[in-house]
Amino acid sequence: MKELVFGHKNPDTDAIVAAKAYAFLQNALGNEVEAVALGTPNEETKFVLEHFEEPAPRVIEKAAPEVEAVMLVDHNEEQQSVADIADVTVTHVVDHHRIANFATAAPLYYHAEPVGCTSTIIYGEFVQNNVEIPDKLAGLMLSAIISDTLLFKSPTTTAKDEAAAKALAKIANVDFEAYGLEMLKAGTNLASKTEEELITADAKSFDMGGKTVRVDQVNTVDLDEVFAREAALREAIEKQSAAEGYDLFLLMVTNILDSNTRLLVVGEPKEMVEKAFEKELVADKVDLPGVVSRKKQIVPQLEAAFNA
């Protein structure tokens, strides 16, 4: 019976690549699995797919019209998944995030590790199952690890991520440092993006203390270039929050060159942000030196503030 595998909504490079990699592995193991996506690739992912001459996966809005069962990669939370996730059976999850808002009626295969990237975990499954990784797929998986770890600068990076990346770079015959910097810079080309696209491209929703908290991350090489559009960004956030029911919206603007983030905070309760980072907001903004990871340096701190 055919299954679909996909990453989270507003997919990043790992969400797209992990689905492709896991579909390849599952098919090699004798299953019928197709990789799909819950959104179109962002600029960085487009660069990766074009570099390795790989087509983008088709985009779906619902899974149940096509299949009875699905596999999830790079997420598990219901609000980050396909719209009709409750109408299908989840048979597999491979993820590196917290487990929340997730339940199944039947047993399943669940592989989670506290590493920097889902593709790192999937690389381990290729090795474990003695399945050879084609050079093109190795390049894609390397790209996902570079993306999620910001070329190993993120505090989410582990020794497993670095070892997997180096092994994949060897298979793909890629100078991962030179390629990685070029790839990350490709994702910071923001001039052609509308404010709506900027606040949506890498956004995830979280339930905290009964509030819906939205956290979007934009990578750049120039914070001032992004904040020159602050008024328009704020207007777009307020409009989207009203339409979608977000209580608190954090826009993380991260400089990938010096590993610093500036937050723009819209909505309430703003005091939770000040409590989480022990800093006062000035005009709804705060600088967070050394902060680059939503998963490790933003979400847990906010959750702790809401739950205190």
pLDDT at 252: 97
Q: Which of 272, 264, 281, 267 is nearest to 299 (CA)?
A: 272
The pLDDT assigned to 191 comes to 86
The three-state DSSP-derived secondary structure of the chain is CCEEEECCCCCCHHHHHHHHHHHHHHHHCCCCEEECECCCCCHHHHHHHHHCCCCCCCECCCCCCCCCEEEEECCCCHHHCCCCHHHCEEEEEEECCCCCCCCCCCCCEEEECCCCCHHHHHHHHHHHCCCCCCHHHHHHHHHHHHHHHCCCCCCCCCHHHHHHHHHHHHHHCCCHHHHHHHHHHHCCCCCCCCHHHHHHCCEEEEEECCEEEEEEEEEECCHHHHHCCHHHHHHHHHHHHHHHCCCEEEEEEEECCCCEEEEEEEECCCHHHHHHHCCCCECCEEEEECCCCHHHHCHHHHHHHHHC
Task: Indicate if the pLDDT at residue 201 is higher than 90.
Answer: no
Q: Can you give the pLDDT at residue 276? A: 97
User: Which residues make up each annotated binding site?
Assistant: 8, 12, 14, 74, 96, 148
Nearest-angstrom CA–CA distance, 113 and 86: 25
Residue 149 corresponds to which tokens in the numbers above?
Answer: 């770890």
Is residue 100 within 8 A of residue 112, CB to CB? The reply is no
Binning pLDDT at 50, 70 and 90, where does residue 308 land? confident
Mean pLDDT of 22-36: 98
Q: So what's the pLDDT on residue 141?
A: 98
Query: How many residues are listed for the chain in this entry?
Result: 308
Please state the rounded mean pLDDT for residues 86-113: 96
Mean local confidence (pLDDT), 247-274:
96
Among all chains, which residue has been given the structure tokens 């980072």? 277
Give the mean pLDDT of 214-230: 95
Report the DSSP pairing between strands 248-255 and 285-289.
unpaired
Average pLDDT over residues 61-88: 97
Beta carbons within 10 angstroms of residue 193's beta carbon: 16
**pLDDT over 90 (residue 88):** yes
Q: Quick check: 233 and 201 in contact, CB under 8 A?
A: no
Please determine, for residue 151, whether its predicted confidence score (pLDDT) is greater than 90.
Answer: yes
pLDDT number for residue 133: 98
pLDDT at 101: 92
- Report how far residue 262's alpha carbon sits from residue 227's, in angstroms, rounded to the nearest whole number: 9
Distance CA 202, CA 27 (A): 29
Cβ-proximal residues to 168 (8 Å cutoff; 6+ apart), any chain: 123, 133, 138, 139, 141, 142, 145
pLDDT of res. 90: 98
Q: For residues 199 and 240, is the Cβ–Cβ distance under 8 A?
A: yes
Annotated binding site for Mn(2+): 8, 12, 14, 74, 96, 148
Has residue 100 got a pLDDT over 90?
Answer: yes
Asked if the model's pLDDT at residue 189 lies above 90, the reply is no
Residue 274: is its pLDDT beyond 90?
yes
d(CA 266, CA 176): 37
pLDDT tens readout for residues 130-150: 999 999 999 999 999 999 999
Q: Give residue 192's pLDDT band: very low, low, confident or very high (50, 70, 90).
A: confident
- Is the CB of residue 112 less than 8 Å from the CB of residue 99? yes
Q: Which residues contact 20 (CB under 8 A, 6 or more apart)?
A: 35, 54, 57, 137, 140
In this prediction, residue 34 carries a pLDDT of: 98
Is residue 11 pLDDT above 90, yes or no?
Answer: yes
The pLDDT confidence band at residue 86, using thresholds 50, 70 and 90, is: very high
Q: State the Cα–Cα distance between residues 76 and 257, nearest whole angstrom.
A: 30
pLDDT over 90, % of the chain: 95
